[in-house]
Amino acid sequence: MHPDTAQPSPPALEISTSRQFISWLSEQHVSLAFTTYQTGKLFLIGVTSDRRLSVFERTFERCMGLWASPDRLYTSSLYQVWCFENALESGQLHNGGYDRLYVPQVGYTTGDIDIHDINVDSQGRVIFVNTLFSCLATISDRYSFIPLWQPFFISRLAAEDRCHLNGLAMENGQPRYVTAVSQSDVSDGWRDRRRNGGCVIDVPSNEIVVSGLSMPHSPRVYRDQLWVLNSGTGYFGTVDLSAGKFDAIAFCPGYLRGLALWGDYAVVGLSKMRGNKTFSGLALDENLAAKDVEPRCGLQIIDLRSGDIVHWLRIEGMVEELYDVAVIPGVRQPMALGFKSDEIRRTVTIGSL
């Protein structure tokens, strides 16, 4: 191509928001966190003291599962689970504005087991979806992981990603529901059932409560309802447990992964679809075409009362896929330390016995 006709390269990262997105963060007194495994980034979204959008990112290779509280974060990466602790005292600010400074304090080496959703139970124990081995598991000081539960149709633990177990919903501090793309019991069998083989499983009873879903993700129990992303269709909704069916609430223009519920709102993660077989042949393609829209990457804020998408954050450039999203209550402008700069060497905190 002649230099005069060369096309400009796409921006490395460009984030835009709806007009009232910053106001919504301020009014709700929350910040947001999300992960993108495609580029290996943990993003923290907040509001500066002069009411501008604060975007902070750190690199953790293939970071996916995310759990957040005001003073602690957990995220999974390619072969580790990281625990971040807030290094600031109450009322202290870092670099003139950040009210949380999350430091990667403890790392557990798990090996590359494709950890998806991650959570913390009522005893403070980390529980995660071990997708490669088709089970729920916890961290260990000695082993890569300790298995806790597996679906009834998985005949044995094997590093074969048989059903693509991915999502975990907690209730009263204990695992309650999980999502799987299929009920397959052979290596990589889920890829043959992407369009309608998805299901939600009740963990205590090990029974399927709804089936016929398309690549479901991110189940959550909130306000006595089970919410889920029917990702292969683009719809966010609830599960009618008595009827065993999915009730759609809102269509979002993208592949859905990552769900956090706060007040009267849902925060949903959107991804563009990769150009490979995993994302081809889904109803999402047909639904996007019917609504005359292209798939997007970013966040959608949905009003649970109406199903309307009331705010949004859109990402362009190098980031095209998100995995998980979390609300951090009571935090205005968070940041974190990573391993690519020297700041982690100079951040020292002293505890007491």
Pairing between β-strand 334-336 and β-strand 100-109 as defined by DSSP bridges:
parallel
Minimal CA–CA distance to 295: which of 281, 316, 276?
316
| Gap between the terminal Cα atoms of the chain | 67
Q: Inform me whether the pLDDT recorded for 276 exceeds 90.
A: no
Q: Inform me whether the pLDDT recorded for 273 exceeds 90.
A: no
Q: 168-225: per-residue pLDDT in tens?
A: 999 999 999 999 999 999 999 999 999 999 999 999 999 999 999 999 999 999 999 9
**Runs of H (alpha helix) within the chain:** 21-28, 283-290, 343-346
Whole-structure pTM value: 0.94
The architecture that CATH gives domain 7-339 is 6 Propeller (2.120)
- Looking at residue 342, its pLDDT comes to 87
Across 121-126, average pLDDT: 97
Residue 192's φ and ψ, nearest 5 degrees, are -85, -5
Q: How far apart (Å, rounded) are the C-alpha atoms in residues 235 and 29? A: 27
- In the chain, what percentage of residues exceed pLDDT 70? 95
DSSP character for 249?
E
Domain edges within the chain: 7-339
Q: 91-100: per-residue pLDDT in tens?
A: 999 998 999 9
